[in-house]
A and B are shown apart, each in its own frame.
Chain A
Amino acid sequence: MGARVLIAEDEPNIVESLSFVLEREGFSVHAVFDGEAALRELRASAPDLMILDLMLPKMNGFEVLKAAKSDPELSSVPVIVLTAKGQAQDRRMVDEIGAEGFMTKPFSNREIVERVRELAGR
């Protein structure tokens, strides 16, 4: 059983291709499509890593990240943040809250797989 990755992203086609490449690399992937579900799933399944889009419905990625990083039980889960707009501003905000990885769209599959491998420790 490979490391477990939680993807929180509201664009189904991105979720589908990301899931495919990560599963191909031996990771076990679970996906959610909004911020509230991301936090719920994070608490319920304690994955080895979370890929988190910033523009999520219901609860945005910043809020999810902040909640995760201020919860002692969740703060050790590495988070790779995905962003698509206002990159420099998002970066500053994410740095203030604290995330392990930061990728701007459009990224390549190879880049994200490498980053996941590095942070999930496999």
Chain B
Amino acid sequence: MRSPLIGATLRQRRRALGIAQAALAAQLGISASYLNLIESDKRNIAGALLKRVADALGFTLDEIDGAAERRLVADLGELCGEPLLADLGLEEAGAQALAGRQRDWGRALVRLHRAWLDRGQAVSALSDRLHQDPFLGDAVHSLLTQVTAIRSSAEILQTGEGLDPARRERFVAIVDEQSARLAEVARSLAAFFDKDAAGTRSVTPADEVDDFIVDLDNHFPPLEQAAAAFRADAAIDGDCSEAGLVDYLRREHGVEVVLRPVQELDPAGVRHLVSFDASASTLVIAEEAVPATRRFELVRLACELHGQGRAVQDLLAEAPQLTTDEARERARRALSSYLAAAVLLPYDAFLAAARELRYDVDRLVQRFGASFEQVCHRLVTLRRPGASGIPFALMRVDAAGFTSKRFPLPRLALPRHGPACPMWAVYQALHVPGTVVRQLVEFPDGQRLLFIARTVEKSRPAFLLPRRLQSIMLACDALHADQTVYATGLDLSSSGPAVPVGPSCRLCVRRDCVYRAEEPIVGR
């Protein structure tokens, strides 16, 4: 396919660089009139000449052969399908002309369009949260209860069997009474939806990954199998030592592992503690990385090389929840972490130890040489049917309250955007770094949960920079609390003392709470 409007692009760049047509032609060894034909898109240009022009004008071939432009045209094409702009009758041909002649204006439009879509998605995700409103749960419960009473009485009346006149009258009265209550609930539901007419369901890439993991109960049997296969093939000893992993990578995959100061991997020193250069077969790990992190990253790479990432790819291929490349990349990262954890903390051994040690995270850390966060994370994945641990939710926040990791439970919605209730242990733990905070909490609907939280400190890039604390919280239903060491000394009966909490101020009905920071947007 001929690239669109290369000539115009060349002319624009040449003029921007202040090079005369004749001068460029001379440099390229062609006539000025031939260059003029090329710039007017009356002659095609390709091969060696195209490469020389690109070099002379400081373009990459990708830019000049139109690949970048084709992407831009495709991106601009999305605007043609944008309902908001439908009345403008935008056509694809116009997008091509704009991309060729006014590339930066084209890019600006695409960037604004993307940002606009993102904002829309964030708004929709927020309105999704409204649907976790306790009012709705109560209303549905009430509705089904009324319907049950009506249905049961109606069936008795219909058969008439064993009914004397007084009984008959009584059941007619029940139908009447329950119908009136049913109508009341239905009216309040209608009023609720009038007030909160929400947009369509739309989510961000992070939300898509959440949905994908939660839909599968955060348990991935193919990855558990891949982890077992890796341990067997790599003949990894019981505790998966760092030296053994380094040796395995060198022996089986020719990969050298080197330690370097973190600044060499990532000048900002905030995000990346490892970097793998596939062409040089070298894995660079920051000297600052703690042993548990080093081991984790060694296993992550070893697993990727061992199965060419097939187990993860297969799962991604069957994930309809993931609709964008960004979501798939996030999910790939999450699944490769899962796989590494499954190798380091093998399912059966870890579950047995968790039960034996009554889910004492610190003791599991000692036994498996893993980090606090890795152990918490693994506990959440013990969901194999027939051999499952306690169902836990997990949440990780930073000091600004930003939630950077969340695995909810069916009965515990965790915030996607914005903070939860300030009373939650995950925030309280930030006041006492390094100390385990446990809480028996009660939600407005009477539901009780056990919260366990502790901060973990991420390595900081330099002495003078602030500490980087994150708080990790596990949560389980109070019904399971007695299986954990954290319930020791707590009164778990439903009349025992519990910290009154809510989902978040905006969704909480405790109007008299002294910790309230915002007015609720739902209520009765």
Contact = CB atoms under 8 A, between A and B. Distances in A.
Interface stretch (A43-51, A73-81, A82-90): A82-90
Contacts of B145: 11, 14, 84, 105
Contacts, number: 85
Which residue, of A85, A92, A107, has the highest number of chain B Cβ atoms within 10 A?
Answer: A85
Interface in B128-177: 137, 140-141, 144-145, 147-153, 155-156, 161-162, 167, 170-171, 174, 177
A11 B137 contact: no
A121 interface: no
Contact of A105 (B144, B410, B495): B144
Interface residues of A, number: 33
Contact of B141 (A20, A84, A97, A108): A84
B308 interface: no
A107 B150 CA distance: 11
For this complex, into which size category does the number of interface residues on chain B fall? 20 to 34
B410 A86 contact: yes
B47 interface: no
A21 B156 contact: yes
B178 A13 contact: yes
Contact of A92 (B161, B410, B495): B410
Which residue, of B152, B155, B161, has the highest number of chain A Cβ atoms within 10 A?
Answer: B152
B477 interface: yes
B479 interface: yes
Contact of A66 (B144, B150, B174, B479): B479
B137 A105 contact: no
A14 B494 contact: no
Contact of B153 (A13, A24, A35): A13
Contacts of B153: 13, 17
A114 B170 CA distance: 25
A58 B494 contact: yes
Interface in B317-360: none
A85 B147 CA distance: 13
Contact of B152 (A21, A55, A92, A96): A21
Contacts of A62: 477, 479
A119 to B, nearest CB: 19
Interface in A37-74: 55, 58-60, 62-63, 66
Interface of B: 137, 140-141, 144-145, 147-153, 155-156, 161-162, 167, 170-171, 174, 177-178, 391, 410-411, 446, 477, 479, 493-495
The 7 closest A-B pairs by CB, nearest first: A89-B410, A17-B152, A84-B144, A106-B148, A13-B149, A105-B148, A85-B141
20 contacts: A20-B162, A21-B152, A24-B162, A35-B494, A55-B141, A58-B494, A62-B479, A63-B479, A84-B140, A84-B141, A84-B145, A85-B137, A85-B141, A88-B410, A93-B477, A106-B148, A106-B150, A107-B148, A108-B152, A109-B155
